[in-house]
Structure 1
Amino acid sequence: MSEQTDFAGILEKNEGSILAAWVEGQLSGSTRQGAISDGELKESSRAFLSSFTKAVKSDYNEQLSGEAWQPIRAHLTALSRERVIQGFSPAETATFIFSLKKPLFDLLRKEFGKDSGRLVDEYWKLTQTLDQLGLMTVEAYQNTRQEIIERQQQELLDLTTPVVRLWDSIVALPLIGTLDSERTQVVMESLLDSIVENEAAIAIIDITGVPTVDTLVAQHLLKTVAAARLMGAECIISGIRPQIAQTIVHLGVDLGDVVTKATLAEALKIALRRVGLAVGKIAPAKQDN
């Protein structure tokens, strides 16, 4: 009998006791017992242990390179994704694998305790295997968390670049925060889509919420203006505070023939005139004596 088949047979014979000891170890060492039920933890552990036993029986190698380990990889990827959502840390997630060491080491000691050479070999091979699985778990956790962060960043960009329809054929884009290259692309796409959707002739870009305007920010604004003009819409930039005006002059930035205004209200007045509209006060209604 080969070592590979021998160890797999030991796992199959003792799967119940291994599972019980493993689950108990996870529950006793967990700081987030409320995030996952005991039943869910036991079922996930049982499914993993079953797949682990099959993989060991088929291809017990420390590199985990064979197809027999694919179900293990899939299980750990799914588990890591769930743990990220549940708020587990990378260390807490990796404990799922590392907590399996003790019950398996105890079993090896029981089976090969009288053969020190064999015991050391089995210890070393199992340690390498579980360490690889632990690293795989942490990597899957990090990849999942990065995906979530990137998706949240994109959602935040979308939320911070809303295009508002102010009037027929007039839209406004209030900008808040720093305007970098990535965000400029989102701004352009949002503005151009809104111009098409609303058949807008005037687009007001309000930079009241932009903390500073340097050469790079000014270039991004001009690119956005140029893109809007290609779609047939004229742009007005509002929110030009005294500090920003001084900075633009100091940097020698040429905004060309772009109309600029200090406030959104002033920009809206010009936009209304450009489309043949005006805002005026309503005369107070006469009261009967």
Structure 2
Amino acid sequence: MSQDSTLQLAGLIKGNEAALVDELITAMRNKLMRFDKVSESEIRQQTAQLLKLLELNIPKTTTHNLNDSIWAETKQLLTEFSHARVKQGYTPAETASIIFSLKEPIFKLLRASLTDQPQQLVEELATTTALFDSLGLYTIDVFQKARELVISRQQQELLELSTPVVQLWQNVLALPLIGTLDSARTQVVMENLLQKIVETGALIAIIDITGVPTVDTLVAQHLLKTIAAARLMGADCIISGIRPQIAQTIVHLGVNLEDVITKATLADAFVIALKKTGASITNSAA
């Protein structure tokens, strides 16, 4: 990118910002791009900001390498723009469309300005394409990283929500498990259970696996680790929800649960827990 080329491009942007924004909005409407989650006025404002930064920064460099410190402020604007689009539910392509859609109106200005200079026009078009492609790809990259962070955070929140520890009675906790128990989830289960034991001083924790579809060697190991951790905190564990097929699987796998109380239902486990804590339930006469 030559100095003359950068000055030419910056000069075309200067004074044409409003026209460029108008053409961008028209192009977005023609391509049926969405305005449902972000207003037209917001897009106009963001595009005007981007054009102003390009107008200021393009003459300061002869390269479109965005690692150059000259582009720091522009990259910050694109980062904020991409993060907002992640929260608004846009796709990477929709997010980068504003950048890529700016190329055509700028090409139009270049063609009008350099009609009688075909060689320079070709160079300017190549320079502009390289610059806006770099900006667009940066936007996509930032968008994808931001979305991965959002997904990771949501997965963590879902893990925590899917492993509630409930206090059934004084000194008695229940941990109902639903779905597959993998290593990551086991860690959350263990942390939530141990924290609740500390908070309540519970003596018994009922781990209910009624909602666990299958029990294999790995799931059994995760259960045993959770039980061992709870015992270190002073709480004994009872496993409820042992269905016939799960009982057969555990025996077939050779998993040793001899020192763990197991029951078919949560209700049965609760009765045992009450006895162990010295409490009892009696039916009152009507």
TM-score (norm 2): 0.95
Q: Distance in 1 between matches of 2:175 and 2:239?
A: 10
Structure 1 residue 100 displacement after superposition: 0.3
- In 2, Cα distance between equivalents of 1:199 and 1:60: 68
* Residue of structure 2 equivalent to 1:52: 54
Q: How much does 1:18 deviate?
A: 2.1
Task: Please list, as runs of the form range in 1=range in 2, the aligned pairs for 1:18-97 lying within 5 A after superposition.
Answer: 18-97=20-99
Residues 146-185 of structure 1 show CA distances to partners (whole Å, capped at 9, x for unaligned) of 1111111111111110000001111010000000000000
Measured in 1, the distance between the counterparts of 2:89 and 2:283 equals: 56
Supply the AA of the counterpart residue of 1:56. I
Gaps of 5+ in 1: 285-289
1:13-32: CA deviations, max 9, x gaps? 33332232223323433431
Aligned 8 A contact 1:160 1:176 in 2: yes
Compare 214-223 and 73-82 and name the one that shifted more.
Answer: 73-82
Query: Which residue in the other structure is 1:183 paired with?
Result: 185
Q: Is the 8 A contact 1:30 1:92 kept in 2?
A: no
Q: Hey, what's the Cα distance between the residues in 1 that align with 2:43 and 2:73?
A: 18
192-201 vs 16-25, greater mean Cα deviation:
16-25
Alignment-derived partner of residue 243 in structure 1: 245
Q: Is the 8 A contact 2:5 2:127 kept in 1?
A: no
User: Residues 23 and 45 of structure 1 are in contact (CA less than 8 Å); yes or no, is this contact kept in structure 2?
Assistant: no
Residues 237 and 261 in structure 2, CA contact (< 8 A), matched pair in contact too: yes
Letter in 2 for 1:148: V
Amino acid at match of 2:270: L
4+ aligned runs moved over 3 Å, structure 1: none
Structure 1 residue aligned with 2:123: 121
What RMSD over aligned residues (CA atoms) do the two structures have, in Å?
1.4
Q: Percent identity?
A: 51
Q: Which moved more, 1:226-235 or 1:64-73?
A: 64-73
Match for residue 270 of structure 1 among 261, 272, 276 = 272
Q: Deviations over 1:64-114 (max 9, x none)?
A: 221121122111121112222222222111111110011110111122221
TM-score (normalizing by structure 1): 0.94
Number of aligned pairs? 284
Distance 1:153 1:60 in 2: 44
> What residue in structure 2 maps to residue 279 of structure 1?
281
